[in-house]
Each structure stands twice: as C-alpha cells, then as structure tokens.
Structure 1
Amino acid sequence: MTVPGETPQPHTAAGPGPAPSPGPGGITVGVATAQEWQQITSWANHEGWDIGHHDFAVFHATDPGGFFVGRLDGRPVAALSVVNYSDDYAFMGNYLVDPAHRGKGYGLATWEVAIGHAGSRVIGLDGMPVQEANYKKFGFVSQYRTIRYAGPLTGRPAATAPPGTELLTPHHLDAVAAYDRTYFPTPRRAFLERWLTAPGHTAHVRFQGGRLTGYGVIRPSPGGHRIGPLYADTPRDAEALFDALTAPLAPGAPLCLDAPEPQQAAASLAASRGLAHQFHTVRMYRGPAPAAGPERAFALTELAMG
C-alpha cells in the first residue's frame, strides 16, 4: 500500500541505489537494511496497516534491492518499496514519511530514486484515495477499489476443515504456482515457496474432481491474523478455504483481509464471518493493466507489496 507523507511531483527518475547527491535538507537515499525496514514496518503498523510478522523477509528475498529509505543524519525519515517480480512487472508500496519530518521534500526525494528501480516495468500499487490524483500525474491509471475487511471472527460452522480442503504440502507447489498465475500478473513460484512455508503461515488447497479449485494462506500479524491470498474458482470454494484457514482460531479472534471490490462475493463472505469494511485503497497501474485477474481474488496477498 502506498501511504504518502508527501505529494509526489513529476520528475525524471534516477536509477536505483543511493542518490548521486544529497537531496533537500541533506537527505540521502539508498537501499534499506533489514534493521531499518523494521522501523518502517513499525511506522506502517502505527498507521493501522497490520503488516504480517514475516512479510518483509519473504518480499525482501524476492528483490533485496527494492526497499529504499531516505536518511537524514544517518537515520531513516522516509521510505518506499518497489519490488521487481520479473522483467515486466513491479509493485510499489510502503510510501511513508516520519510524521516529524513531513512537508520537507524528503518523501519526494525518496520517490525519485526508488521509482527508477522499476525501469520500464509495469508498476502496480494500492494507493490511498487522497493521493489518487497525484499518482495520475505520473501516468498511473485507476482500475478498481481494494477493500480492507476486518473484525472479530464470527459466523463459522464447526471448527473443522470442510470436505475437499487439505493442508498444503510440498507436492502441491507446482499446481499452486500454475493456479496462482491465473490471478497474479507474473509467475512467482520462488516467492510462493517462501510465502506458503514462512513461520506461522498456514496454507490450504481445495480440490474438486481431482482439479485444484483454489488455495489460501493465513498468517499472524500484530492485530491478530490476516488471510491472503485467497484465490478460488467459485464463492463456494472460497468459503470452504476461508473456513479451513480459520478453523484453528477461537471465536472472536481478530482477522482481516484485503479484497478487490469487483469480486462482490468477497464482500458477502467477509460479512458472513463478522468482518466489516474498514477502509479502501485504489488499485492503479503505470503501464498496461495486467491481463491476469487480481480483481477476481477473494483476498490479495499484501497491499504494500502485491
């Protein structure tokens, strides 16, 4: 998710890595260390984004050079991630500025370096509505809204995995990676292998007639648990996977997911399990919108990193 603390202005993007010269107020921009990004994650969670405990580690392995900070006197004051998934596709998020340093141009300086990391790739983002017009100045085009549903888990059947669902095992990985490609804009098998098996992450698959009809992942977060992704052929498949993923949770456990608004069945499923519309972002792309259908998902993987 992009969470601007500054309004970006049109520019000619610099390349990746440290800025060739100090920016406004002496800021320098470079690739973040893991320790620095822990601070960025704490900023994001303070804003209410509820980042999963191991999200950064998985995405960082996908593109270690895609996480940028603007430093003032050696201390991070701004951030932006631009994760390159392939030669054709990148996803932007985590656009944050320390509240004590907003309005000084530090976010813009970080933006100008970080966006160059994507090169000529199509870039996706989920931006806050207040910044939608500003992103359009950079060639980003709005596609649909993404809704955060959150709340205490209610309305489930008995806490057992529904028939047709099963825990994901390594022998499912090839099938899941192929299925994932019908929803995500580019192949990401290596990412999935890490995401599906990260500490605390639990994944379920669903088969009907010997054919994979969906999969989903649940993971711990500061606010409770998050589901994502949840990809399924039908609302019935999605409901079965949702109930399998949440079966171990206690009634009333806090839960959230992010669903594209065009997938109207996701709203019904969320409401039936006690989750309410919390806020929304706007999915935008710079470059041609991908042919794959993320708007069909019942839950996206992660707002800030795709």
Structure 2
Amino acid sequence: MKATKRTGLAILLAVASGSVFAQEIRVTVDGDPINFSGVEPITRNGRVFVPLRGVFESMGAFVDWDQATKTINAQRNQKDVRLTIGDRYALVDGKTMFMDEPPMVIQGRTMVPLRFLSESLGADVQWMSADHMVAITTGSTTYNNHSPNTGTKAVVMVDKTTVLPVALDQELSSNQSQKGDRFTATLQGQNDTYAGIPEGTKIQGKVVDVKAKSGDQPGMIELKFNKMILPDGRTANIKGSLIGLDDKSVEKNDEGIYTAKSTKKDQRVVFAGYGAGAGLLVGLLTKKPLEGALLGGVLGYLLGEVDRAQKKPADVHLKRGTEFGVRLDEPVTIGIE
C-alpha cells in the first residue's frame, strides 16, 4: 500500500510540474539514433527535453557544464550558446534570447530544451509525430573511408594504427559516468596539422562500459571512439580505441606522428583506479563486461606494474585536459578545404 501511495505521489508531482517522462520519444542526429542511459527524454508543456550529454556531442558541438554557476556552454561552427538552469533567458552569440521553458535538473541529470539549443547551434529540427521521433540535421558533410567530397581541395588518408594524441574536454569518472555517455577530446599537436588533420579537430567518444570501485576491486572505465569532427563542423566516421602514449605502447616518427607498436586488433584497454592521479591504463584480458571482471588474473599492465599493497584501489577520475591516445583501428579518409 505504501509503495502504491509513493508511486501515485510521484505521478501527481510530475503532472503538477508539467513534466512527463516520454520514453517512446526517439532522437536521431543525421540519421543516427541516440541512445540514452539513465534519464530518458521528457516533454514539458509541449517541449522536448533531453539529457545534456549525447545529442549535442553527436552534432559536433563542444558542451561544457559549470557546476558552480549552473551554466551550460555550447559551441559549434562559430556559434556560442549559454544557458542557465531555471533561467528562461539564454545568450546566443552574445544576444539575449527568450525560451518557452528553461533548462532543469532531473534525477541528477541536466535536461535542456532540444529544439532551442539545436537550432541555436545551426541545426534543423523536425518532429515526426507518427514515429514520436525528433530528427536533427546538422548540415555537416560526413565522410566514409571511400567517398570523400569531391569539392574539397585536398584528401587526407590516415593509416590504421596511427595514434591521435588528445586531451579530454569533459570530466569522466567510474562512479558518476554511465554506460552510453558521450564525450569529446581535442586533438593535440605542435603544428597546424597532425598527420594532415587540422588543429582543433575533436574526437567523439563513448563510454562503452563502466564499473565503480567495490571493495578491493578498482573502478574502471572503457572508452571507444567513433567520429572525427573537423573545425568547420564536417565529420568523418572512425573506429578508434584507447591507448597510452608511453614508449611501450607507441613509437614516434621524425614528423612527430605516433604509431601503435602492436598491430593486434581488438586489444581491450581501460582506465583502472590504480596509481597516483586519475587512473592507470591497463590491458583487460577478458571479453566479459566490467561488472563481472575480477582483478585477479584479468588486468595486464601496459604502463608498468603497480604495487597494490601501497596503492589502494580507487575510482577513476579523469579531469578535463587528461591526455591519452586514440588508436585508429581502421584507415580513415577526410576532405580538407
């Protein structure tokens, strides 16, 4: 009876606030479906709200959350948008714009008005009522490995096993990040290009598995990478995996380009909560999900041995700016204007 009353109260509160969870609503970006973990899209007074992470990174936008000011900053193709939790007024390229509904926090997740933010970032938004689907079109050209845009001035082919040095754009942690969370990292280099890829290019990734610290088992995060976002907003699909930038994992040629020393495919590397700082890159010797992976006999160290007796297991905390490598598991072709 008490459980029934609590359920009824929750429904009453949701209706009273004007918010309705809408699990049937689907969202696509340039035809690719977005998978939500944790909090699903909701409707509030006829407006669709989505979790901050996921949709906008897929659009090629850089999104940052300022916990102190409760402010969301999003940039894409020279567009700059700033939203604040609970505030109906937003800044779009420095101009004040009014929103029907403000951003909000639900179950610890930041929820933003999908149409307003998408259109402010230069995308087209269509509501497909028959399919209960929001279709977002970014207008960016996507390249595959065989069909670059013939209007480009140059075509760059980047070989597989090339390693892209990147710096993380958003924080990730094994006790807060969730499976399916998307993020971006910015290509690092000393010149205007790296392996022919322009400076400022972002690599989009996804948390494919995560496990919080439990007892003597460290927290772990497994990442994969699926898109390269050029500074002009165009994108190229990639297949990339996590790798360290240490001498045991990569070698650097005379032009400063890293290459993976191992040519084996499907090497499973994760961040584990060992050692000083955020976490240690380790090789996982099992295909089982992290939730079922025990430390004993499972982790093969890529970056040196860790004295477990002196360094206790912990959760992984990857701060913004954390550097690591993205190994290209397949060659990629991109067009440069």
TM range (shorter): under 0.3
Pick the structure with greater CA Rg: 2
Higher helix share: 1
- Superposition TM-score, scaled by structure 1 size: 0.27
- Superposition TM-score, scaled by structure 2 size: 0.26
Q: Could you say which structure has the greater relative contact order, defined with CA pairs below 8 angstroms and 6 or more residues apart? A: 1
Higher strand share: 2
